[in-house]
Amino acid sequence: MVNWKSQKLGDMLLFANGLVALVLINLLSTQYFFRLDLTEENRYTIKPQTREILSSLEDDVYVEVFLAGDLNASFTRFQKSIRETLDEFRLYSNNKVRFTFVDPATAQGKKAQSEFMADLSARGIQPTNVIDKKDGQRIQKLIFPGAIVSYGGFETGVMLLKGSKARTSEEQINQSIEGIEFELVNAIHKLANEERKEIGLVTGHGELDSLQMFSLAQSLEEFYNVSSVTLADSSLSTYDALILAKPTRTFSPADKFQLDQYIMKGGKVLFLIDKLEVNIDSVSLEDYYAFPYPVNIDDQLFKYGVRINVDLVQDQNSGIMPVVTGESGGRPQVQPMEWPFYPLLNNYPEHAITRNLDAVMARFVSSMDTVKAIGIRKTPLLMTSPYSRTITAPVNVSINTLRKNLRAEDFSRAHIPVGYLLEGQFESLFKNRFLPEGVNGNGFVESGKSTRLIVIADGDLARNEINPRTNEPRPLGFDTFTNYTFANRDFLMNAIAYLTDEDGLIQARTKQIRIRPLDKEKIKNEKAKWQVINLVLPMVLLFAFGMARAYWRKRKYSQF
CA 183, 185, 187, 190 dihedral sign is negative
Following DSSP, what letter does each residue of 437-487 receive, concatenated?
A: TT---TT--SEEEEEEEEEES-GGGGPPPB-TTT-PBPPTTEETTTTEE-T
Q: How far apart are CA 65 and CA 63, in angstroms?
A: 6
Decide which of 3.40.50, 3.30.70, 2.60.40, 2.60.120 is the CATH code for 195-510.
3.40.50
pLDDT attached to residue 492: 95
pLDDT band of 142, cuts 50, 70, 90: confident
- Is 284 or 469 the better-scoring residue by pLDDT? 469
Mean pLDDT over 177-185 rounds to: 87
Mean pLDDT over 447-452 rounds to: 90
β-bridge partners, 364: none
Mean pLDDT over 29-54 rounds to: 70
pLDDT one-digit tens code per residue, 292-333: 999 999 999 999 999 999 999 999 998 888 776 666 666 766
pLDDT one-digit tens code per residue, 390-435: 999 888 888 777 666 677 778 889 999 999 999 999 999 999 888 8
Rounded to two decimals, what is the model's pTM? 0.81
CA 138 vs CA 130, 132, 239, 423, 505: distances in Å = 10, 6, 55, 52, 42
**Which range has the top average pLDDT, 20-29, 446-455, 550-559?**
446-455
Asked if the model's pLDDT at residue 83 lies above 70, the reply is yes
**Which range has the top average pLDDT, 139-153, 191-205, 544-558?**
191-205
What are the CB-based long-range contacts (under 8 Å, 24+) for 468-473? 473/211, 473/212, 473/214, 473/215
Q: How far apart are CA 65 and CA 100, in angstroms?
A: 6
- Is 172 or 450 the better-scoring residue by pLDDT? 450
**Tell me: domain 48-191, CATH 3.40.190.10, correct?**
no
pLDDT attached to residue 174: 83
CA 407 vs CA 47, 387, 412: distances in Å = 48, 11, 10
Please check whether residue 66 is in contact with residue 147, taking contact to mean a CB–CB distance below 8 angstroms.
Answer: yes
pLDDT attached to residue 66: 87
Q: What are phi and psi of 424, to 5 degrees?
A: 145, -165
Please check whether residue 47 is in contact with residue 184, taking contact to mean a CB–CB distance below 8 angstroms.
Answer: no
Report the chain's mean pLDDT, rounded to a whole number. 84
Least confident of 33-42, 67-76, 279-288, 376-385: 33-42
- Percent helix, strand and coil across the chain, each to the nearest 5: 35, 25, 40
pLDDT one-digit tens code per residue, 192-226: 887 889 999 999 999 999 999 999 999 999 889 99
Q: How many other CB atoms are found less than 10 A from the CB of residue 212? A: 21
Give domain limits for the chain.
Answer: 48-191, 195-510, 521-546
**CA end-to-end distance (rounded Å), the chain:** 31
